[in-house]
A and B are shown apart, each in its own frame.
Chain A
């Protein structure tokens, strides 16, 4: 280097008194001149803090768009991370749900006689998602996660809530396309909550996929039996039945809550 930073210039640089052009010139010089760099005073603690801030900025993960959306909706940062990492939350599952709903909507629009198909299928979709959300066969990291304090019922509940929310939003989006009054188009909602909570309760005793299969099977059998007994395939979606689903969902959810917090 043919020149070095004078004491006056260094003071002005450190106090932030230089205009941007001269400050950049000093920066560039410091980058190439070890002697002048050594003359810049620094505090070790401040340097370490700055380095840690820089490291945190560089290494911290960038939240995905879905995670950002959840966080903007008031979901805690760590819960948003848990939800978006659920194995079910893959494009394949969402595509399968959309395809199933689209098929049921198209069938109902073709003939109103197929409306019960949509109403019967919608409560099954979250169960399929939950079956794929937790367990050694569907989660490649299951063994590792199973030894953590949040694993088991608590993690399953978080993942099931995420799965249910996605299925409900998609089904709600499809409902207005049905050729039926609004109340009937939404008659799948309470059964969905009831079947989901029932599946979660069963999963405390049975593997999650078995619970989902059993609950889904019982639901379809119930719908078919009610239809067969009354000659009306919509019998399982009447007012009295809806009150029953609502009560069942509430009671089972309370039971789940007490089990998780036991």
Chain B
């Protein structure tokens, strides 16, 4: 269980986390928010790669602000950063093996078996001996996910994990994360509301370093009830509308003349929430 209480973080004068309070339990929790909302900063604080200015984090009873407890927490978490980077001269196996050593898997036989397991999990067994620089963007993303799975961590922190994945890979990713979420705590940030709708039991929306919504994807969609409209003509006044594939206009907010109500989705709720909070 992860408890975050009144967390604050500033970059210079900019307040990035502004007294954020949140509790996250087992299952998959999605973190939504516009650029600059503080999602990555929050995840970096939880992944112990960034210190926070104020507030408290309690992860499985461990406080990452204390050095010894921070190391203990690192033994229990897997982290996929937004920009994981790579050593171009390493093979896929080398890179995951290297991280496995840093995760204190020192026995060679056991470590290599674990590396093979996580590479198979992300469907990269055939690329194990390929240099990382020769892998596609999607493959590199899966490779970065593989290292996060080493040692079957209880807490998985995934920052924009579906970036660069094609639709088929995204489906495989969703299946993998759903399965992982059955037995551990998964916290992922994304811009993809479809991912949230498809695999998160819970969604937290952040704006300007604060939580503005915390509930189920269905609950987020429901916040847009009565505010989603379909019309044949582009609305004259609304700024939240777009032309859909069938040529009709989907408008969020007040009812445009001649429009009919539409079923709200997660994206509708999110856009209205972010629009109101901005």
Interface string of A14-57 (1 = CB under 8 A from B): 00000000000000000000000000000000000000100110
Complexed CA–CA distance, A76 and B101 (Å): 12
Complexed CA–CA distance, A54 and B86 (Å): 28
> In the complex, what residue of chain B is closest to A153 when comparing beta carbons?
B67
Whether a CB of chain A sits under 8 angstroms from the CB of B237 is no
- Known contacts A85-B87, A143-B83; A148 and B112 CB within 8 A of each other: no
Whether a CB of chain A sits under 8 angstroms from the CB of B229 is no
Q: Interface size of A by Cβ–Cβ distance < 8 Å?
A: 28
> In the complex, what residue of chain B is closest to A148 when comparing beta carbons?
B102
Q: Which residues of A contact B18 (CB under 8 A)?
A: none
Whether a CB of chain A sits under 8 angstroms from the CB of B47 is yes
Whether a CB of chain A sits under 8 angstroms from the CB of B10 is no
Task: Output the least CB separation between B147 and chain A (Å).
Answer: 7
In the complex the two chains form, is B102's CB within 8 Å of A150's CB?
yes
Complexed CA–CA distance, A52 and B125 (Å): 13
In the complex the two chains form, is B129's CB within 8 Å of A141's CB?
no
Q: Interface size of B by Cβ–Cβ distance < 8 Å?
A: 44
Find B85's partner among A55, A77, A140 (CB 8 Å cutoff): A140
- Known contacts A56-B113, A59-B116, A78-B106; A147 and B79 CB within 8 A of each other: yes
Q: Which residues of B contact A148 (CB under 8 A)?
A: 74, 99, 102-103
Q: Which residues of B contact A141 (CB under 8 A)?
A: 84-87, 95
Find B49's partner among A52, A56, A59, A143 (CB 8 Å cutoff): A143
Interface residues of B in 61-95 (CB under 8 A from A): 67-68, 71, 74-75, 77, 79-81, 83-87, 90-91, 93-95
Name, among A59, A139, A150, the residue most crowded by chain B CB atoms within 10 Å (CB to CB). A59
Q: Which residues of B contact A139 (CB under 8 A)?
A: 85
Task: Output the least CB separation between B244 and chain A (Å).
Answer: 39
Q: Which residues of B contact A149 (CB under 8 A)?
A: 71, 74-75, 102-104
In the complex the two chains form, is A262's CB within 8 Å of B68's CB?
yes
In the complex the two chains form, is A56's CB within 8 Å of B102's CB?
no
In the complex the two chains form, is A56's CB within 8 Å of B84's CB?
no
Task: Output the least CB separation between A129 and chain B (Å).
Answer: 17
> In the complex, what residue of chain B is closest to A59 when comparing beta carbons?
B128
Interface residues of B in 34-65 (CB under 8 A from A): 44, 47-49
Whether a CB of chain A sits under 8 angstroms from the CB of B144 is yes
Find B93's partner among A52, A60, A145, A146 (CB 8 Å cutoff): A60
Task: Output the least CB separation between B47 and chain A (Å).
Answer: 4
In the complex the two chains form, is A147's CB within 8 Å of B101's CB?
no
Find A140's partner among B68, B87, B108, B128 (CB 8 Å cutoff): B87
* Chain A residues near B (Cβ < 8 Å): 52, 55-56, 58-61, 76-78, 81-82, 85, 139-151, 155, 262
